[in-house]
Copies of this chain bind each other. A is one copy, B any other.
Amino acid sequence: MVNDRRRGRPSGPTGPVISRALRLLDAFDAEHRALTLSDLARRADMPLSTAHRLVQELCAWGAVERDDDGLYQVGLRLWELGSLAPRGPGLRETALPYLEDLCQITRENVQLAVREGTEVVFVERIAGFGSVPVLTRVGGRWALTSTGVGLVLLAHASTEVQEDVLNGPIEHHTAKTVTDPVQLRRMLAAVRSNGYSVSDRQVTMDALSVGAPIRRGDGEVVAAVSLVVRHGSTTAHGLAGLVRTCAQAISRALTP
């Protein structure tokens, strides 16, 4: 049901209005925070005049703004709205003190993430004291199959999501990245029975991460915490206890 709607036609709407406006917003990402109108139109694949009209409306409301060079950027109003998202900033707020404790104790990188579709979204990350440089960005996305948090979230996702991910193309980063569906399935089973995940050098060759699930009152996994450490500095098993304890504390804080 993808595109191919290019025909020189007289006039008339060609698609739901809102979805076009949202496609326009999708043109922004971490590498493209400020765009010209033409860039926006190109990236969203729509006529210039259409993009112009839509962007005008979005501007009027504050979803996008123009900077002093005339470039369009994501507006403050959108950020305000976003800061009301329960699964993002809401979760972050209640989890933060526990994450900081974990960081204090271990001096390592701590990460908090949730699943969105077939990807991980990082909600918070605290940089440990002089440990491995982190590649993640708050608000950024990542594959479910490589990171510690990702494996936890995937292990407790619906089978439908799991199949989607395992049957699709699997991101590859290092020689240790597991890309074999069969092996991944085994790993996920282990995550479920152990109560924690280990991603050993699957993202970069010098890092290892251990993740644990955060559950809601009814037991459903809604998020995950992880600790990212330099490979070889500690055993994964040694960290697992700490991470699980932290995750359980957050789970408890979430339920009332």
Contacts and interface: CB of A to CB of B under 8 A. Distances in A.
A18 interface: yes
Interface in A1-55: 16-19, 21-22, 25, 28-30, 33-34, 54
B80 A121 contact: yes
Given A18-B54, A87-B65, A89-B139, A78 B76 contact: no
Interface stretch (A67-75, A189-197, A206-214): A67-75
B79 A139 contact: yes
A138 interface: yes
B74 A78 contact: no
A73 B84 CA distance: 8
Interface stretch (A56-64, A155-163, A226-234): A56-64
Given A18-B17, A57-B18, A76-B121, A81 B84 contact: no
A221 to B, nearest CB: 13
A133 interface: no
A116 interface: yes
Contacts of A60: 19
A74 B79 contact: no
Contacts of A33: 84, 86, 90
A197 to B, nearest CB: 21
Nearest to A93: B138
A114 interface: yes
A80 B82 contact: yes
A80 B22 contact: no
Interface string A100-127: 0000000000000010100001000000
A116 B77 CA distance: 8
A182 interface: no
A88 interface: yes
A63 B22 contact: yes
A175 interface: no
